[in-house]
Structure 1
Amino acid sequence: MSRIDWLENHMTHCDTMSAWVHAQFRYEFEDQPLADWQREFTAGQTNGKWRCLIAMDQDRLLGGAALARDDLAERHDLGPWLACVYVTPEARGQGFAEQLIEGICTHAKSIGITKLYLHTHDRRDYYAKRGWIVEEQFEAWDKEQWLMTRLL
């Protein structure tokens, strides 16, 4: 039986989730060793910087998504962000990413956030189908990126 819950309630999965994010988005972490990111991500579960919602089957971690205070170093003027969206390859295609994204959006709205941001280099169409709007195109990490927003 799968379920969605906050990572802060399952901190034994924190190192795994942060390692997956670090590997998936390695181009963003070129200057940050995994151990440093794991400490930052773990602290982010309580200090509000990287609040992560996770999907699990029993106690097996399937993926997660975060509500991040700041996810684009060059754009500190923007935020908060949907960030760190990752689902394991074997769990893809089952709707977990959408559940996680909607969970983050619902939570953000419940605490008074009216607009979320994200950036992506390869999932623009996926997010556009789910109500996200392209605000601008830019280059970062030697990749074409799209800055997208969603009103809540």
Structure 2
Amino acid sequence: MVKNMKEYTYVNLRQKPELIEDAAAWFHDKWEVPQEAYLECMKAYLNNETEYGWYLCLDSGSIVGGLGVIENDFHDRKDLAPNVCAVYTEKEYRCQGIAGQLLNTVVKDMKSKGITPIYLITEHTSFYERYGWEFLCMVQGDNEPDMTKMYIHR
């Protein structure tokens, strides 16, 4: 049986700058990183201080998925930049291709700006491999006891 695929809207924060406060609160709620940290990164993007952006999936104007691009996602390999971070899809919206669409969008957008390769840290390896990400190396997370996997998209 084929699920009825809804039409979602995919935007970057420059296309919908009015969502900055909602987006910062949404990501904070998912990852427990201070809201101010998200706002700082988002403002830098909106002010064209960086091309490292924030990407959202909207359902009738509400954020149901998102991810960002930052210099370093809290790990010891500062040379592996930029990093896709904060990838999240609301539980009831999972398995509909939302995160995959966001990942493909960010890869395409970064490449169009000459930013390649890009990296991410994850334990969800098979998921990212479906979207062209490859295992690169192990990295030490800041204040993390265990090493974690770093993936690259060339």
Instruction: Give the TM-score category using the shorter length.
Output: 0.7 to 0.9
Q: 1:41 to 1:107 in 2, by over 3 A?
A: same
- Flag as ranges the 4+ runs of structure 1 deviating above 6 A: none
Distance 1:123 1:19, change over 3 A: farther
Structure 1, unpaired ranges of 5+? none
Secondary structure of the residue aligned to 2:136 is strand
SS at match of 2:80: coil
Question: Does 2:19 correspond to 1:13?
Answer: yes
Contact 2:65-2:89 at 8 Å conserved across structures? yes
TM-score w.r.t. the length of structure 1 is: 0.80
The CA RMSD over aligned residues, in Å, is 2.2
The match for 1:107 is 109
TM-score w.r.t. length of structure 2:
0.79
CA contact (8 A) 2:54 2:68 kept: yes
Aligned counterpart, 2:68? 66
Aligned-pair identity in percent equals 23
Structure 1 residue 24 corresponds to structure 2 residue 30:
yes
For structure 2, the 5+ residue unaligned runs are 1-6
- Aligned residue pairs, count: 144
- More strand per residue: 1 or 2? 1
Does structure 1 conserve the Cα–Cα contact (< 8 Å) formed by 2:68 and 2:86? yes
The structure with the greater share of residues assigned to helix is 1
